[in-house]
Structure 1
């Protein structure tokens, strides 16, 4: 019987959705983040501060892990989690990690989870649909112009609600151990098509403006983004332009027995909820 389920990034895009679902089921949930209050089931866990790990892991038997970037910290956290009695690990990774260098933090995290000796599941989602409502591209939607160097590249955007459903299933049900689920939406679309869908859902005109990599990077730097970070972000978008990640996966259906949510459904619900107000 699960005593506590620990959710790293408990206030983030996927973490808060997972925690909400588990709580609705009446399951004991412990959310962890760097800036948590440290009271009740809201615990502080800073990946850069190993002294915060043991209190957060105490009594936990299942954990949802993520590695937001920087040096690889997950391998050490996995070892400590297993030593503390965690029996099931679900890792949020990303599509394309298989092609990354061995030293990539997510690749190291995946290897640590797979070699942990306990039940594990790896989630490899594509770009989140929620980038349009909660992250990078929200202001572009609100202004009416998504100025991005993606050309006619296509992405099968995945709804974070689907990611949360898969994570909860892997955390609480048997039959998912040893599996890697690549998570995508049902079809790949261009940024121009995404803008058209949002236009139809909101009634406001939104367009995609294809810009050069140089102009996009310069714009980020002008907004205060460090040049090295701006270069990385631009590179990720150029991967879309170059056709990486266009294939659609059946990961959601294999995990849940149903198809993934469409981008049209995502946009309609986001518009109805006032996400772009």
Structure 2
């Protein structure tokens, strides 16, 4: 893409799929702060967007120059690669050549989606992220943290949790700077933490005790069923327990020229912002 072509692309709206989610709303906010036009892709958006309803895609892609692609519920779920591939082809056909995909580090299913997106002919960037630190404050771990007990099937495994703010900064750079085209960035935090460490750092930040309680896979699946959640969520813990992501990677530094934020800094800021207030 030439500089002129890139300028023309960024003058058109940037579609943020999942623009109300953990990374999407951060990306949308950063783009808006730069004075760039943003369109939110969500079921409640105008026009609405729904991954399960391809008939909603053309309207939300109309006039768009670039897209941040996030897939719900997760790229590891069956059928994700077909949906992402079809959407990427629709985006390129509509004139949105610049696509940035949020992917999962170490996820075979995610790699299939990456390949399908690349086959669309897009100017692509892939951002592979470890588990988000914000899962403990904005997602499925928040209620257990509030209850003071993290009962999870991860044993003594370790994970370099990445801050969603770091992910958003990398995504915005990729959406707005052609130097990131054709790059795959693997993002993690700066340190490996076990869940006892996580509980200790959350306890310090919040000012009350949070305890990590190891449970079996069967016990966790039973708890998911009790809350009406799909059992596939339990499968995602294999990304932690088998050690495939038990190393620090350096995509944040590669993309931004600065180190990633620590989990302790995330926890302090989230607590100060009232993330764990009832």
TM-score relative to the length of structure 2: 0.90
Partner of residue 96 from structure 1, selected from 79, 100, 106: 106
Please say if residues 128 and 160 of structure 1, whose CA atoms lie closer than 8 Å, have aligned partners that are also in contact.
Answer: yes
- Between Structure 1 and Structure 2, how many residues are aligned? 262
Q: Give 1:51 deviation, angstroms.
A: 1.8
1:125-161 Cα offsets, whole Å, 9 max, x none, are 0000011001111111111110111111000000100
Q: Give 1:238 deviation, angstroms.
A: 4.2
* Distance in 1, Cα, partners of 2:157 & 2:104: 18
* Distance in 2, Cα, partners of 1:83 & 1:201: 48
- Which stretches in structure 1 are left out of the alignment for 5+ residues? none
Aligned position for 1:84:
94
Structure-2 change in CA distance of 1:51 and 1:242 (3 Å): closer
1:159-211 Cα offsets, whole Å, 9 max, x none, are 10001000000000121011111110001100110110011111100110111
Where do 1:151-162 residues align within 5 Å?
151-162=155-166
Moved more, 59-68 or 14-23: 59-68
Moved more, 123-132 or 79-88: 79-88
Aligned position for 1:10:
19
Aligned position for 2:121:
117
Aligned position for 2:191:
187
1:232-264 Cα offsets, whole Å, 9 max, x none, are 222322442332311110000000000001001
Query: 2:145 aligned with 1:135, yes or no?
Result: no
* Distance in 1, Cα, partners of 2:171 & 2:30: 10
Aligned position for 1:27:
36
* Distance in 1, Cα, partners of 2:233 & 2:87: 27
Where do 1:216-227 residues align within 5 Å?
216-225=220-229
Return structure 1 stretches of 4+ with deviation > 4 angstroms.
none
TM-score relative to the length of structure 1: 0.91
